[in-house]
């Protein structure tokens, strides 16, 4: 798994085009203020690692959100951080489970539509910790 995480005073996205033909038709535009955005790359060997992958994803997202005193976490599948890619269905389930667990823990999770390229406006904070890369 690879994570590229940002603290963003504001994040806006809009669905642009499908990247997976089987994705449901969705048109959405949303702005999320004062949030942590987590770009997630699920890799081919992640399913074999079991629950550890989800636990580490959540631990890292919560850690960064805590550094910036926010409960808003945006999860976006981003298959550009590695050559190794998991099955899309595994990645979708991983994001859905992460969002559910974040919500159960008092966070406000947002998941960008899976299977879509999105247009984005990124306002990334200037602090050193506003930009974090993790691989596990």
Task: Locate the domains of the chain by residue range.
Answer: 2-135
pLDDT for the residue numbered 13: 98
pLDDT for the residue numbered 79: 82
pLDDT at 133 over 90: yes
pLDDT at 48 over 90: yes
pLDDT for the residue numbered 82: 78
List C-alpha distances in Å: 96 to 18, 84, 89. Answer: 18, 21, 11
Interval 6-39: pLDDT, tens: 999 999 999 999 999 999 999 999 999 999 999 9
Residue 69 class from Cβ within 10 Å (0-12 exposed, 13-18 middle, 19+ buried)? exposed
CA distance 47 to 125: 33
pLDDT for the residue numbered 118: 96
Q: Indicate the fold that domain 2-135 takes in CATH.
A: 3.50.80
Interval 90-108: pLDDT, tens: 999 999 999 999 999 999 9
CA distance 124 to 8: 4
Residue 81 pLDDT grade (very low, low, confident, very high; cuts 50, 70, 90) = confident
């Amino acid at each position: 798994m690879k994570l590229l995480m940002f603290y963003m005073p504001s994040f806006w996205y809009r669905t642009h085009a499908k990247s997976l033909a089987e994705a449901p038709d969705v048109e959405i535009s949303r702005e999320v203020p004062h949030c942590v955005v987590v770009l997630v790359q699920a890799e081919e060997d992640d399913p074999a690692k079991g629950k550890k992958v989800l636990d580490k994803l959540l631990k890292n997202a919560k850690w960064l959100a805590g550094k910036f005193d926010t409960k808003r976490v945006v999860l976006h599948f981003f298959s550009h951080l590695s050559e190794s890619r998991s099955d899309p269905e595994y990645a979708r389930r991983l994001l859905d489970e992460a969002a559910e667990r974040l919500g159960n823990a008092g966070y406000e999770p947002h998941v960008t539509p899976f299977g879509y390229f999105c247009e984005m406006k990124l306002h990334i904070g200037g602090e050193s910790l506003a930009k974090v890369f993790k691989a596990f």
